[in-house]
Amino acid sequence: MPVLLLRRDAPLTDAERARLPAGAASVNEPGGVIARLTVDGEPSRVISAAVALARAVPDAEFVVRVPATEASVGGLAGVAGVAAAPVVSDSPAQAEEGAAEGAAPAEAAEQDFVDPWVALDRGERDRAMRRFAAVPLTGDGRERVRRMVLSANPVEVIDALRIARVTDFKSFFSSARRVSDHSDPAVRAEAALAIGTLAGFSQLTLLEKMLKDADASVRESAKQAISLINTRRG
């Protein structure tokens, strides 16, 4: 019988407790476990419970714990709001067997479930983007992205453009346009990709202009962006 866990350093707030799905308990256990839900039933029921629990507290780590006598729970990877949830066995032997077959250790997999903003602040950008792509961007998150794109630091501007792209933040394309002539070619290249991902055919004129950029990476990104738009147009 799988047990679904949420882990975070900070305890649940009253609002988060109210959002927990039926049957989930607010707890304070070692390892930062703040919520626990035991699920008995068909895999579809487990998946539904996992999605509801993960969405209740989106900045918490989500873990599936399976008793040693049971097979690992399949079907959770790729579920919106959960995204490739790590399955932790209670059996040390089973964990070693998985490692021998090339599976990543449970500890390493679980680390991908940190708050994406925390990962970004740590400089773990690829991990942060995987997490951003797995969960919806909140209103506060969108506002933070809008502030980031105004930064004097090109790295922050690039991060903002990438976040907007992986979260499909459609209205952000106007911000991407504003930095399409940025002095840093890496920003221009990322802006082109963001425009190609978020905007429509009306932006082809700008992207065609970017095909003449002095920097090869910008030209290549503009080419990819035009292809993205044309593919959506059919």
**Exposed e or buried b per residue across 106-116, where buried means at least 16 C-beta atoms within 10 angstroms of its C-beta:** beebbebbbbb
Mean pLDDT of the 149-157 span = 96
pLDDT at residue 87, rounded to an integer: 44
pLDDT tens for 187-221 read: 999 999 999 999 999 999 999 999 999 999 999 99
The rounded distance, in Å, linking the Cα atoms of 38 and 2 is 6
pLDDT tens for 106-145 read: 443 444 456 889 889 888 888 889 888 888 888 999 999 9
Q: At residue 97, does pLDDT exceed 80? A: no
Quote the tokens at residue 161: 């453009």
Tell me the one-letter amino acid at 95. Answer: A
Mean pLDDT of the 157-184 span = 96
Under the banding of pLDDT at 50, 70 and 90, the label for residue 234 is low
pLDDT at residue 81, rounded to an integer: 40
pLDDT tens for 5-36 read: 888 888 888 888 888 888 899 998 887 889 98
The rounded distance, in Å, linking the Cα atoms of 146 and 155 is 14
Mean pLDDT of the 149-170 span = 96
The rounded distance, in Å, linking the Cα atoms of 85 and 104 is 13
Give the global pTM: 0.56
* Contacts for 28 with CB less than 8 Å, ≥ 6 apart: 11, 34
